[in-house]
Amino acid sequence: MARCACVGSARRRATDAARRITPRHGHSAHVVTDGRVRDSARAVANHQGSRHTEVIGVTLLALHIIAGLIALVAGGVALYAVKGARVHRKSGMIFV
């Protein structure tokens, strides 16, 4: 069986400069001399961009923004309420 001709720069052999680069200690994503990324690194990259991760990130961001807004409002109420009043104490506890 004949191999198909490779198209594009991604399939070319690594340059001499790229071959001289030594891998850093502790990195799991090494580039093989023919320019392909190892399968383990590809699996990590695919997992990082998964839909599940994006949903969790957006949810946590929304919760963080809502909690920050509640704290700002409660802090403002605690600042302008009379010290020792019931509103001051409640809003101070919400702020903290």
- Report pLDDT for 24: 63
Domain ranges of the chain: 10-19+29-48, 51-96
- Checking if the pLDDT of 40 tops 80, the result is no
pTM: 0.47
Average pLDDT over residues 10-31: 62
pLDDT digits (tens, 9 = 90+) for 46-82: 666 667 777 888 899 999 999 999 999 999 999 999 9
Query: What contacts 45, CB < 8 A, 6 or more positions away?
Result: 29, 37
**What is the helix (H) or strand (E) element at residue 67, kind and residue range?**
helix 51-80
Greater pLDDT, 1 or 60: 60
